Amino acid sequence: MYGKEAQVPGQADVTSPFAPQAQAPAAACAPVPSAGQYPTWEKLPKQTTLPDPWLPLAYTTTDSEGGSSPNFASDVMAGKGKNRIQTPEEWYQCRQPEILQMLQEYQYGYYPDHSQETVKATRSGNTVNIEVSAGGKTGKFSATLSLPSVKPAPVVINIGGMSNQPYLQAGIAVVGFDYTRVAPDSNGKTGAFWDLYNGRDIGVLTAWAWGFHRVLDALNQTVPEIDASRVGVTGCSRLGKAALAAGLLDKRITLTMPMSSGVQGLGPYRYHGLSGQDETLENSKSGAGWWTDKTLGTFVNHAENLPYDAHTIAAAIAPRALVIDQGTGDQFTNSKGTSVIVYPAAKLVYDWLGVPDQIAMSVRGGGHCDMSGFNSVLPFVTKILQNQTITKDYNDLGSYGSPMTTTYPWATAVPKA
């Protein structure tokens, strides 16, 4: 199962700030399985608490050293597993790339190799037409620009619409694109992404993430009024799940802004019933199986065997910025679980990496995809994209109170950075 250290396909845009120097040997990383050869749920311990983000997959499986011990699962959950990551350098060289590949294997499907694509963009007024070619095939879609008076401006790319005016007034450009022209929210294989990649086991969330990235390519080519080195991505609900994937899979994204994203976004697979409609892996995979790859479906009724949870996705974005939106009146997603479990667990990794101010939790009143969410996160957006000084405390979990630290017992065993 485990072979040579694997490259993450199509991940040229995901890098580490701790790139090894020429004179220093790279860390000896844990072995990573080849694509399609990852351990099935039967080979993974049942973890009733959030998995330890510092434990490589190779030392999590029940056939690894000590895996047959009756204490193996409890040790793994408590941060007592063998060969844990010990330094930020080791995280960026070994663990972060491993997580990116693991998430593509188990959840997203493998992102296409962008080096094999050609992107052509043309602009007509506030419309940018995008044409992507690969393997003799071509997919087309477009994006719409809303530009502030001050230029060049940072930009937030969104799908599904957002509260534009406060952002424009703050000097932030807003760009939207029709995600259904990239891939439909169904099993249908129409749209620009499937015109190129039909036949691959890739989730629609990944297809929409690819759309964000190709829009950014087009902005770089055709819109000098935008500073494409300062980029946020956002969407709400299923589109928030896609924005999360977009931020995860492209290092050019400065700020990831998932709104009311729920399960398969930043809602936990474990502890799923704290608020909302008890959104689970099972009911989300049953209702919209196309969002993620087929492999994730093999964990239906075995979600606690997944070697990751939503905090792992969030942590893998570091050191880049992440702001998480949830409303206390959200009738669908598990806002409380995201706020008191996923966020503080991910923040431990951000803190350990020395970037505690790059992750934020925006707990607001209001319901699912309430447009007030965009206003609630805006101060943090201006901090990240415009270097503004802000006073709002994004570590305040509001009426949810304090983090549920019992849900991530490895918090007492954070490696010494």
Question: How many alpha carbons fall within 13 Å on the CB side of residue 26?
Answer: 12
d(CA 206, CA 99): 16
Choosing from 64, 237, 339, 362, the catalytic residue is 237
Compute φ and ψ for 184, nearest 5 degrees.
-75, 160
Report which residue type is found at 199.
Answer: G
User: Residue 114 catalytic?
Assistant: no
Name the residue among 95, 200, 85, 86 with its Cα closest to residue 137.
Answer: 200
Structure tokens at 52: 């330890």
What one-character DSSP code corresponds to residue 291?
G
d(CA 233, CA 173): 12
Name the residue among 152, 147, 182, 188 with its Cα closest to residue 168.
Answer: 147
How far from chain centre, in Å, is Cα 187? 22
Choosing from 311, 339, 368, 376, the catalytic residue is 368
Q: CA-based angle 76:82:86, to the nearest 5?
A: 105
How far from chain centre, in Å, is Cα 62? 27
Question: How many alpha carbons fall within 13 Å on the CB side of residue 103?
Answer: 28
User: Residue 368 catalytic?
Assistant: yes
For the annotated catalytic residues, the residue numbers are 237, 368
